[in-house]
């Protein structure tokens, strides 16, 4: 039976909501647990499909895993398998993060190509080129990646592009390689810093995350730990854009404002009133906002591609015109056709979308094509007049835990049917 979200739109949002733990931090950190044979407790856990998929992969690799409402417990003392098949890797792009730890620990592994949202080709050439620079022998055959690491060694590696995943893969692999590995032209996303802090809590020695050079000094052994994973900046940004779009007074608890500096700067240019108080962000909006003339997705600290679809939803109802350039992925406008069904005025040319704000969106049957496009349709439904049914919400459940319950806390009329 297909799950759908039924939204009765047009209501302002009022209330306080806690921001969940970061999906894109949890994924590499969960892979990083494989670097030691010990017990781990990861706090701020969130029950979303991508983390469930990663849990299943770790169990196949011999880990024992439990969880309660807010923590994930991982026992890697008996992790003994280094082969991951298609059935598992197809579920989540982040399966690629396992290459590094398995290679470093078992000195050989076989991993099927990763899956993930269909937002583009998502090659892994930068991951593999970096692992080869660390001395790995890699053969790609019949959809599998065969890695051999008898002669792993430290290296100085300049990434062709500041890829988040490739940066994380190489940090994970180099942690157990003797000597000093230097990574340059690395991604600077907050999730990279969270991974560095986690590995150092395990007894690793990594410096420089968040800057454009990371230095990893290899250690012989790592140990288990308890770690508080950071909050999800994309979930926080989605709430902020929902508040800006629907109007009202929204208070986010457990939000890290500096992780959304670019979004907050853009929203501050509009008629939103934003107050930051420690780990709380308050957004008030009570009238139609003016458009943001130009938005360009770029690597951190610039505007994140993971908020592009949600920002587009906001721009569809602003006063004026907005141009959105999606420079990170070649197929990340899946929400456009669906937003147009609701009355949005959007023209797409290649990686550029021109949005002319309309006064009203109208409820419709719309279909999520990927995780963030789905979130964008929820926001549009919350704003639209009448009822919106969002289909294919399994995409949304990959990255948002019980989205209907969270937005109901803010007064939205949204239910899973």
Is cis: bond before 341, omega within 30 of 0?
A: no
Instruction: Report the nearest approach of ligand EPZ to the CB of residue 279 (Å).
Output: 21
Strands (E) across 76-152 are located at 83-84, 108-112, 137-141, 144-148
Shortest distance (Å) from residue 155 CB to ligand EPZ: 17
Nearer to ligand EPZ, 24 or 316 (CB): 24
52 exposure class (CB count in 10 Å sphere: 0-12, 13-18, 19+): middle
Supply 176's token pair: 């157990």
Shortest approach of ligand EPZ to residue 281 CB, angstroms? 20
User: For residues 355 and 317, what is the distance between their CA atoms, to the nearest angstrom?
Assistant: 9
Q: What are phi and psi of 346, to 5 degrees?
A: -135, 135
CA–CA dist 202, 37 (Å, integer)? 11
Of the pair 324, 361, the CB lying nearest ligand EPZ is at 324
346 sits in which H/E element: strand 345-349
Distant-in-sequence, close-in-space partners of 364: CB < 8 Å, separation ≥ 6:
338, 341, 342, 384, 388, 389
Return residues touching ligand EPZ (CB under 6 A): 23-24, 27, 93-94, 117, 120, 122-127, 161, 163-166, 187, 305-306, 328-329, 371-372, 399
Residues annotated as catalytic (active site), given as ranges: 117
Cβ nearer to ligand EPZ, comparing 49 with 306: 306
From the CB of residue 296, how many other CB atoms can be counted at a distance below 10 Å? 16
d(CA 72, CA 66): 6
- Write out the E strands in 48-200: 64-67, 71-75, 83-84, 108-112, 137-141, 144-148, 156-158, 180-184
Provide the minimum distance between the beta carbon of 262 and ligand EPZ in the complex, in angstroms, as a whole number.
Answer: 13
**Closer by beta carbon to ligand EPZ, 119 or else 274:** 119
Give Cα separations from 165 to 43, 147, 331, 389, 414 (angstroms): 22, 17, 18, 34, 34
Name the β-bridge partners of 296: 325
Tell me how far, at minimum, the Cβ of 126 lies from ligand EPZ, in Å.
Answer: 3
Closest to 97 (Cα-Cα) out of 9, 33, 188, 177: 33
Closest distance to ligand EPZ from the beta carbon of 11 (Å):
27
- What is the rounded distance in angstroms from the CA atom of residue 145 to the CA atom of residue 278? 45
306 or 338: whose CB is closer to ligand EPZ?
A: 306
Shortest-Cβ-distance residue relative to ligand EPZ: 165
CB of 54 to ligand EPZ, least distance (A): 10
Nearest CA to 212 among 192, 190, 186, 174? 186
Q: Is the CB of 238 or the CB of 291 nearer to ligand EPZ?
A: 238
Choice between 372 and 383, CB closer to ligand EPZ: 372
């Amino acid at each position: 039976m297909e799950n759908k979200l039924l939204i009765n739109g047009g209501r302002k949002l009022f209330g306080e909501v806690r921001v969940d733990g970061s999906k894109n931090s949890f994924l590499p950190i969960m892979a990083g647990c494989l670097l030691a044979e010990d017990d781990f407790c990861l706090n701020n856990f969130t029950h979303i499909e991508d983390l469930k998929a990663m849990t299943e992969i770790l169990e196949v690799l011999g880990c024992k895993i439990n969880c309660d409402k807010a923590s994930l417990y991982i026992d890697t003392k008996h992790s003994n398998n280094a082969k991951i098949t298609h059935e598992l890797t197809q579920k989540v792009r982040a399966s690629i993060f396992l290459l590094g730890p398995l290679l470093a620990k078992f000195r050989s592994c076989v991993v099927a190509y990763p899956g993930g949202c269909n937002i583009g080709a998502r090659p892994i050439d930068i991951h593999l080129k970096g692992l080869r620079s660390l001395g790995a022998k890699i053969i790609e055959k019949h959809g599998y990646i065969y890695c051999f690491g008898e002669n792993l060694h430290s290296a100085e590696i300049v990434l062709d592009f500041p890829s988040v995943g490739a940066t994380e893969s190489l940090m994970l692999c180099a942690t157990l390689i003797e000597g000093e590995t230097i990574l340059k032209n690395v991604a600077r996303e907050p999730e990279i810093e969270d991974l560095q802090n986690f590995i150092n809590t395990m007894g690793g020695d990594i410096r420089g995350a968040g800057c454009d050079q990371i230095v990893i000094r290899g250690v012989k052994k790592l140990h288990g730990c308890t770690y508080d994973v950071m909050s999800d900046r994309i979930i926080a940004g989605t709430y902020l854009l929902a508040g800006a779009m629907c109007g009202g007074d929204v208070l986010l608890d457990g939000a890290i404002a500096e992780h959304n500096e670019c979004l907050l700067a853009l929203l501050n240019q509009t008629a939103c009133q934003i107050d930051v108080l420690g780990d709380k962000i308050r957004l008030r909006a009570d009238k139609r906002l003016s458009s943001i003339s130009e938005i360009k997705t770029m690597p951190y600290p610039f505007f994140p591609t993971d908020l592009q679809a949600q920002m587009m939803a906001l721009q569809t109802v602003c006063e004026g015109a907005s141009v959105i350039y999606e420079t990170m992925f070649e197929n990340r406008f899946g929400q456009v056709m669906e937003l147009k069904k609701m009355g949005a005025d959007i023209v797409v040319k290649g990686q550029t979308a021109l949005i002319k704000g309309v006064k009203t969106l109208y409820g419709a049957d719309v279909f999520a094509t990927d995780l963030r496009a789905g979130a964008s349709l929820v926001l549009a439904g919350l704003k639209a007049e009448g009822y919106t049914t969002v289909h294919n919400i399994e995409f949304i459940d990959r990255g948002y835990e019980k989205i209907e319950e969270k937005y109901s806390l803010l007064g939205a009329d949204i239910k899973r049917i």
